[in-house]
Structure 1
Amino acid sequence: MFRALLSRSFKRQGGVRGAVFPSSRPSQGWLAPSGIRKPFDESLRKLDQPYPQPYYSYDDNTHKWMRFEAGPGKKVPAGVEPALDLRRLALYSWNVDARPRFPQARMDAALHHIEELASKLPPTVAVVIFLQECVELSLDGIRDRGWIRERFHVTDLDSGAWGQLEFGTTALVDRRLRIASCFRVYYSKSRLMRDACFVDVELGAGGAAPLTVRLCNTHLDALSVLPPYRPRQVWLIAQHLRSPAVGAGVVAGDFNATEAYDRTLHSENRLRDAYLELGGREDAPDSHTWGPQAQTALKTRHPAVRMDKVLFTGPLTPRSFERFGIDIQLWNPMQQSYILDQGYEKPWISDHYGVVANFDVDS
């Protein structure tokens, strides 16, 4: 959402960033007993450093989401094999908008749309979905959807990793892929307490050993405030993507790219922009991912911009880049009427378009 979120983007306890933030939902019927989320002290997080987190995979036998820890020697979900035949990655990224009304209905429509798009891909393509501005109720839509249970590992099924934020990010990873590492990096330089979620996966590399690709889902700071923090955040992401522990890296999400300096952050950090690599042009109408579906009052004050991006490094070749989520609307008439009353031209489910990039692993 392109609006001043300072008043509701996070809930400070006494204004102290390191305040204790216990689990708000300590026991969940959808989660196997071994996976109950534990409370933690927010002050124990190391800012700008990897903070390990679990991921979840649905077990058809127990009909529960099972909690897994990533790393050498750790147990992996059933059915995960070395993905030597998966040499192409389709990465979908979408800010699904954290406005307070109808989050589950809007998430249902978003996932239905992505499912329709992904169903057209050949089985040799690994699918990963990054979502930003998820709220607790929208996570219910992820957790309960049959397609997600069958096809994906999920990094976040509750808001535990978001700390004091009202909304956050989650990643859905093709369950045929082995997750070698899963962690978050909480930005020390952030006015909105933003972070980056990283997942290391193994993709095939032409019969050779699998290539470990580090994937990053992020939502950078908004607002044009000095000093700007987005440059520092992209720099930090780039350091983790170029870690010697991995062979390639991709970051996608809402970059809130509204200023001139945002246009060069990828090149300054030795990252490549998938849209530009494939011939896209800044300011071209087909580049804009925020604006066309914003509230009319906002559109009259702010120009359409390319907020959402996919950047990469390493032996990956971008094959295609497209926007999606265009003109996707709520289905329920009552919900439609409410959204229209809020100043939107149509009952769109998000003020952002999504972006999808397809990559080949180089031989």
Structure 2
Amino acid sequence: MSENSDPPETSMNRVIPLRPGRFTTRWLVSNWNEAPPTNITVTPPPSMHLVSWNVDFMAPNANARLQHALDHIRTTLEQQGGGSDGSLVPCCVLLQEVEGNATPIILKSKWVREHFVVVPTSPSQWPSTRYGNVTLVSNTVPIVGAQSLVFANSFMGRNALCVDVQLARPGEEESALLRIANVHLESMPEGTSRRPAQLSATAELLRDPSVQAGVVAGDMNPIDPRDANLPAEVGLTDAYQGAEDDEASFTWGYQPRNRFPVCRMDKILYTKHLSLVVDAPSRIGVGVKTSKGQWASDHYGLMTIVKFREQ
């Protein structure tokens, strides 16, 4: 983050630089190692798919559920196409509520090892000791840096996990730097007074002068009527523009049904930049179960396409 750019909302929060991890082989030993700040051999793509999914740390069998979630994401992204060399379509996958002991499922995945840079590669870099956010950036997208915005007002160990990536800008030689925040805002009614400051701090980080634009996606926990106008109040645009009572947009409350009302728990928001385009999100993960019939998650995921149009 640029010097002297901390807004009042983030003055009590911590911004911790992170090093992305890439699976490499050195001296016949394969392991996750720190990736360089940017991969200059990768040409910034004109667009990228963005996937966000809360994979539920509380339900039992976290390993099996996470594996099925990854398999579903893989199938979904492979259906979007890729390069003739077998490369994956440019994409970024944002996971929330990854259970700490289940992180090896991500790191040992052959698909993840071949196609992604991972942030972070250890639960020790989460604010919470039990669960946290993990972001996967495909090798087809140059990643410039990463950081964790740790919310000072969180009692639940919540943060905004940010990665800076490069996307091409039509008609221009220089690429644009896009900041993507993977967020899980404070839960439950007692979190209602905390969510505004958390999303506001995230929005300010997305508007930092060091980047051209920003997108934040994840579990927003909008369970109180006051949450409805929160994105607009902090200067963010909702990628979903439909009716709020349209159940086709709801992402939580079905797997399984319970005493709480169904709602559009997960959202994709972005900064107001004239040339940034974020498509209306579609749902993924609907009805996905493990081989033993357990829901992979209590949430549905979201997928969209992000790009810059010619100014």
Category of TM-score, reference length = shorter chain: 0.7 to 0.9
TM-score by length of 2: 0.88
Which amino acid is 1:65 matched to? W
Give the superposition deviation at 1:181: 1.8
Provide the residue aligned with 1:106 in structure 2: 65
Q: Which residue of 325, 342, 358 corresponds with 2:285?
A: 325
Aligned length: 290
Equivalent residues of 1:47, 1:186 under 8 A apart: no
Q: Any conservation in 2 of the 1:182–1:200 contact (CA below 8 Å)?
A: yes
- Measured against aligned partners, the alpha-carbon deviations of 1:165-210 in whole angstroms (never above 9, x if no partner) come to 3100010001222222211011112221211111101111124201
Letter of the 1:265 partner, please give it.
L
User: Following the alignment from structure 1 to structure 2, what is the Cα–Cα distance between the partners of residues 65 and 226?
Assistant: 36
2:304 is the alignment partner of 1:360: no
Counterparts of 1:113-128 in structure 2 under 5 Å? 113-123=72-82, 125-128=89-92
For residue 142 of structure 1, the aligned residue among 78, 102, 106 is 106
Name the Cα RMSD after superposition. Answer: 1.8
In the other structure, the counterpart of 1:236 is: 201
Asked whether the equivalents of residues 81 and 177 of structure 1 are also in contact (C-alpha less than 8 Å), the reply is: no
Cross-structure match for 1:211: 176
Q: Distance in 2 between matches of 1:138 and 1:215?
A: 24
Does the C-alpha gap of structure 1 residues 141 and 261 become closer, same or farther in structure 2, counting only changes over 3 Å?
same
* C-alpha distance 356-83 of structure 1, shift in aligned 2 (>3 A): same
Which whole-Å CA distance do the structure 1 matches of 2:265 and 2:302 have between them?
10
Q: Closer, same or farther in 2 for the Cα pair 1:110/1:164, shift >3 Å?
A: closer
Q: CA deviation at 1:60?
A: 4.5
Q: Which amino acid aligns with 2:211?
A: V
Which among 47, 55, 58 is matched to residue 88 of structure 1?
47
Question: Following the alignment from structure 2 to structure 1, what is the Cα–Cα distance between the partners of residues 61 and 69?
Answer: 12
**How far, CA to CA, are the matches of 2:309 and 2:165 in structure 1?**
15
Q: Indicate yes or no: 2:19 matched with 1:54.
A: yes
Which structure: larger Rg? 1
The superposition leaves residues 294-341 of structure 1 with CA deviations (integer Å, 9 ceiling, x where unpaired) of 3x4xx2x2110111000011231123410110000011x3xx4xxxxx
The within-5 A match list for 1:1-363 is: 47-60=12-25, 62-68=29-35, 70=37, 76=38, 80-84=40-44, 86-99=45-58, 101-123=60-82, 125-206=89-170, 207-225=172-190, 228-276=193-241, 280-294=242-256, 296=257, 299=258, 301-313=259-271, 314=273, 315-331=275-291, 333=292, 336=293, 347-363=294-310
Alignment partner, residue 342 of structure 1: none
TM-score by length of 1: 0.76
**Residues 226 and 288 of structure 1: CA distance in aligned 2, closer, same or farther (over 3 Å):** closer
The CA deviation at 1:266 is 1.2
Secondary structure at the residue paired with 1:200? strand
| Unpaired runs of at least 5, structure 1 | 1-45, 71-75, 337-346
Cα offset for 1:284?
0.7
**Cα distance change of structure 1 residues 150 and 47 upon mapping to structure 2, 3 Å threshold:** farther
Relative contact order, CA 8 A, sep 6+: which one is greater?
A: 2
- Greater strand share, 1 or 2? 2
